[in-house]
A and B are shown apart, each in its own frame.
Chain A
Amino acid sequence: MADHQLSTDDVRRLYDQHGPALVLYASLFVADGGAAEDVVHGVFLKLLRGKQIVPDAPAAYLYRAVRNAALNTRRDRSRDAPLPDQDIWFTHRERDREAAFALQQALRELPDEQREVVVMRIWGGMTLEEVAEATDAPLNTAASRYRYGLAKLRERLKP
């Protein structure tokens, strides 16, 4: 796989394509939506400054970078009192805020490793191979985490 630096337009395109799902992904690690956006912006600003070499298929790289940055932020702020999380992660096509909030709660209750796989696969549009690469897990492990996570979500969102 060839590595290369990205132009400003490349970075902008990647942000448009992956930004929303990456902010959602960062929200799994940090206390509030503002911090999650800051984490994602930090990763993309490094790309803009040409300081990072990015592989041809950058999705797994981006999720790994956001995860590392989010964990650093969480560690740096660990002594701060956690704020009550009032952020809304999702919008629903039919403006069903209640359903969006229920999904957010259900996602919160998933184990970390299942939750991140579900987010990458459903909202990041990644293949299971990319998810496995991003999470440093074998393909079978990533696939079973996805399956279990999906089943639990379905159970919790049952009407």
Chain B
Amino acid sequence: MNGDEEKFQEFLRGFEPRRPRPLPLATGIWHDWRRLAAAAVIVLATGASLQLGYRGPLTKHAGEHPASGQNPSGAVKVLPRMSSAAMTRAVLEGSDRFDAQMNDIAARTLPRFNHTDSSLRALAKE
């Protein structure tokens, strides 16, 4: 290749192809259906467990929770569930709401021995 050809090639290289728009990298990732599916499963599982954890009617029948106070209609008043932050605040403020909340939760979740067929009551008799 002679000097003229070299020069001509250099001349051509003086022209640069225009730069294209950037590669849409995010699009490439989101097109990966396996990652999307895995993310969806995690979100659904988390949502379902949170919903189950917080689910519960505000009133329950007295027969189910005789430890709580009863009203004439036979239903037991259950306090609205407090968030962790609200409970922490109640503790720091020394508020009675924390004790009330703990009593309410204990009445609904701990085993009872004052029920006629409670196993704890049967054991206590022995």
With A103-B12, A122-B12, A150-B9 known as contacts, the answer to whether A41 contacts B17 (CB < 8 A) is: no
Q: Can you sample 25 A-B contacts with CB below 8 Å?
A: A12-B23, A23-B18, A23-B20, A24-B17, A33-B18, A37-B21, A40-B20, A44-B28, A45-B24, A45-B31, A48-B28, A49-B28, A49-B32, A89-B18, A90-B16, A90-B17, A90-B18, A92-B16, A122-B9, A122-B12, A122-B13, A150-B5, A150-B9, A153-B8, A153-B12
Of A33, A93, A122, most buried by chain B (CB within 10 Å of CB) is A122
Contact A88 B23 (CB under 8 A): no
Task: Say yes or no: is A8 at the interface (Cβ < 8 Å to chain B).
Answer: yes
From residue B24, how far is it (CB to closest CB) to chain A in Å?
Answer: 7
Q: Is B50 an interface residue (CB 8 A)?
A: no
- A-side interface mostly: helix
B contact residues around A24 at 8 Å (CB): 17
- B15 and A90: CB pair below 8 A? yes
Q: Given A48-B28, A122-B13, decide whether A41 and B23 contact each other with a Cβ distance below 8 A.
A: yes
* B22 CB to nearest A CB, Å: 8
Could you tell me the distance in whole angstroms from the C-beta of A51 to the nearest C-beta in chain B? Answer: 10
Which residues of A come within 8 Å of B, CB atoms? 8, 11-12, 15, 19-21, 23-24, 33, 37, 40-41, 44-45, 48-49, 88-94, 99-100, 103, 122-123, 150, 153-154
Binding site for A on B (CB under 8 A): 5, 8-9, 12-21, 23-25, 27-29, 31-32
The listed residue (A37, A48, A94) touching B29 by CB distance below 8 A is A48
Chain B interface helix/strand/loop/mixed: mixed
Shortest beta-carbon distance from B46 to chain A in Å: 27
A15 CB contacts on chain B under 8 angstroms: 23
A42 to chain B, nearest CB (A): 11
Beta-carbon contact of B17 and A123 below 8 Å: yes
Residue of A nearest to B5 (CB): A150
A123 to B25 alpha-carbon distance, docked (Å): 24
Nearest B residue to A123 by beta-carbon distance? B17
Contacts A45-B31, A49-B31 given: A93-B16 contact, CB under 8 Å? yes
What is the bound-complex CA distance between A103 and B27, given in angstroms?
A: 35
In the complex, which of the residues B5, B20, B21 has the most CB atoms of chain A within 10 Å of its own CB atom? B20
B17–A48 touching, CB < 8 Å:
no
Which of B5, B9, B12, B29: most chain A CB closer than 10 A? B12
B36 to chain A, nearest CB (A): 12
Chain B residues within 8 Å of A154, by CB: 8
